[in-house]
Amino acid sequence: MQKKYKISVVIPVFNEQDSLRPLIDRLIHVLEPFKPCEIILVNDGSTDGSEAVLESLHNEFVDIVRIIHLRTNCGKSVALQCGFKEVSGELIVMMDADLQDCPEEIPKLITFLEEENLDAVTGWKFDRCDPIHKTLPSSFFNFALRKLSGLEIHDFNCGLKVIRAECLIGLQIYGQLHRFLLIFIHTLGFNIGEIKVKHMPRRYGHSKYRHKRFYEGLMDFMTVTFISKYLQSPLYFFGYYGMALLLLSVSVGGFYLGLHVISMFTDYPQWSLKENPLWLISLPFLFISMFFFAFGLISELICYISKVNLDKEYVRKRVGFDENGDKKQYKED
């Protein structure tokens, strides 16, 4: 029988060799009251000494620490997705490996989640220790997401979150969609809360912030808008614009065709189609509307027959799991 854990902590790791040991030492202490628990660290193609440190930590804490090594740097979303696939805990804790999130805040989030009967709790970096080139775009990002989702969260992208396992069933995240994780959960009807947490200056390594994340965030913003509203029936999206263009085509074409018929029986030859080439614009509108309907129907077919598995080909090595993909059986202390 597979062992059931109270807490599963999922941590993406990318070039964080210096922070890993202090992070795990602090986590082991914080999670002591929540045993049995597990910590799953996903090595997202690190190029420093992170892999060796992770292997050492697994050997030292074999009953708790699990490691997943990805073949290359796939990004935080894929790393989290790989970790979510392996969790056994009733509660899933997400956090970053750079120790800007304090492990000591985890019990506070768990207590808040249970007392308020919530399904997910995110931290709010109220006093954020980051430069303005990170905080300013983040403020705009959070404002836009509040307006889009109707979810009154101040810090959607806080790395520290506690989520009930059932919230993640069937969830697929990729690209930068981890930043919209709370919106996906919210659209499924789960209750989400927020609580202020400490945020520390970075002491180890360097920030992975890239200026192109603004562009990536904008594209993913469009993605999550579409997915959150039309995932179950994409034809509603494509069909709406297809129908609008079809009505415009019929209206324009019908108007000039009517004038042409009238010109055939009256003394107004200038109303004929030959004299009014504007009727031709109805044709591209008609063709484009057909494309929209076709895209919608194809999307419906894809949703019906496809089950996306975006992460399995990235995994190079799994430590702490048996060959069949099930967790090894560990005896409790």
pTM higher than the cut 0.85 = no
Q: How far apart are CA 11 and CA 93, in angstroms?
A: 8
In a domain, 51, yes or no: yes
In a domain, 260, yes or no: yes
Q: What average pLDDT is seen over the chain?
A: 81
Query: Edge-to-edge strands of the sheet including 89-94?
Result: 192-197, 120-125, 161-164, 89-94, 5-13, 37-43, 65-70, 315-319
In a domain, 325, yes or no: no
On whether both 211 and 284 belong to a single domain, the answer is no
Q: How far apart are CA 331 and CA 271, in angstroms?
A: 89
On whether both 132 and 267 belong to a single domain, the answer is no
Residue 291: give the domain boundaries.
Answer: 235-305
Residues 6+ apart with CB under 8 A from 307: none
- pLDDT, position 255: 85
Domain count, the chain: 2
Contact between 156 and 179 (Cβ < 8 Å)? yes
168-194 tens-digit pLDDT: 987 888 777 788 888 888 878 899 999
Q: Quick one: which of 14, 15, 18 has its CA closest to 48? A: 15
On whether both 113 and 253 belong to a single domain, the answer is no
Residues 6+ apart with CB under 8 A from 277: none
In a domain, 318, yes or no: no
> Residue with structure tokens 């996306």?
308
Residues 6+ apart with CB under 8 A from 130: 138, 199
- pLDDT, position 142: 76
121 φ, ψ to 5°?
Answer: -130, 130
In a domain, 155, yes or no: yes
- Domain final residue, candidates 231, 252, 277: 231
pLDDT at residue 79 is higher than 70:
yes
Of residues 157 and 330, the one with the higher pLDDT is 157
161 φ, ψ to 5°?
Answer: -145, 150
On whether both 211 and 114 belong to a single domain, the answer is yes
Best-predicted range by mean pLDDT (33-37, 112-116, 292-296, 317-321): 112-116
Find how far residue 15's CA is from the centre of its chain.
22
In a domain, 226, yes or no: yes
In a domain, 313, yes or no: no
> Residue with structure tokens 């004929």?
272
pLDDT at residue 322 is higher than 80:
no
In a domain, 320, yes or no: no
Q: Quick one: which of 288, 278, 295, 276 has its CA closest to 246? A: 288
Average pLDDT over residues 230-245: 80
Q: How far apart are CA 161 and CA 149, in angstroms?
A: 18
15-62 tens-digit pLDDT: 999 999 999 999 999 999 988 899 999 999 999 889 999 999 999 999
On whether both 220 and 265 belong to a single domain, the answer is no
- Cα angle 148, 154, 158 (rounded to 5 degrees) comes to 105
On whether both 149 and 54 belong to a single domain, the answer is yes
- pLDDT, position 69: 95
pLDDT at residue 96 is higher than 80:
yes
- Domain final residue, candidates 172, 202, 231: 231
